Amino acid sequence: MTFTWLDYTTEYAPLVDSWMDETAVKMTGIEDGIDSEWQATLKESVNFPGCKDFFKIVCGNGVPFAAVKYGYYQNNVTVSVIIVDPTQRGKGRGSAVLRELAENINRLVGEKTDKIEAVIFPSNTASQRAFEKAGFVFEYAHEDGDALYYSIKTGD
């Protein structure tokens, strides 16, 4: 299935926030709502000239079911948030979104990329499995143990 990738706007905030059940909050660390998270990202990215931030709403058959936040910097992409509608979790939808992201990343960011990296909480085994199923491989754990890094090569 090919998904439709729409730019996040504040109109999507109530929908995405409705997906932020206790599990999603615990696994993303987003406690103040998705729009606050996006605004904080935009404020922070001005400190990195050349950084482009993206927040996409992913639709299947015209129905939004996931949100993905990622950033492009120096030919690499970092996925920092993926949220899937709770009614769609455990069905392979998250890993399908990640596979499509990896296959289309140059088009989605409008730049050539070398690699996509994901930052995942160690307790978030569901995300670890989804990224692995999409072809990402474990690279390393942050030195303080609060994050795991997975990646996949892109391009030729």
For residue 114, the one-letter residue type is: D
Domain limits for position 55: 4-153
Amino acid at 5: W
Confidence class for position 37, pLDDT limits 50, 70, 90: confident
State what percent of residues in the chain have pLDDT above 90. Answer: 69
Distance, CA of 89 to CA of 24 (rounded, Å)? 11
Interatomic CA distance for residues 44 and 22, integer angstroms: 26
Residue 72: which of 99, 96, 45, 44 has the closest Cα?
Answer: 45
What is the pTM (predicted TM-score) of this model?
Answer: 0.90
Report helix angle 93-109 to 125-133, nearest 10. 60
| pLDDT tens digit sequence for 120-131 | 999 899 899 999
Rounded CA separation 107/98 (Å): 14
Average pLDDT of the segment spanning 33-50: 85
Q: Where does residue 133 rank: exposed (0-12), middle (13-18), buried (19+ CB within 10 A)? A: middle
Q: Output the pLDDT for position 152.
A: 96
Query: What domain count does the chain have?
Result: 1
CATH assignment of the domain containing 95: 3.40.630.30
CA–CA distance, 59 with 32 (Å, rounded to integer): 24
Provide the 3-class DSSP secondary structure of residue 69.
strand
Which tens digit of pLDDT belongs to each residue from 4-15? 999 999 999 999
- Listed range (39-48, 57-66, 125-134) with the worst mean pLDDT: 39-48
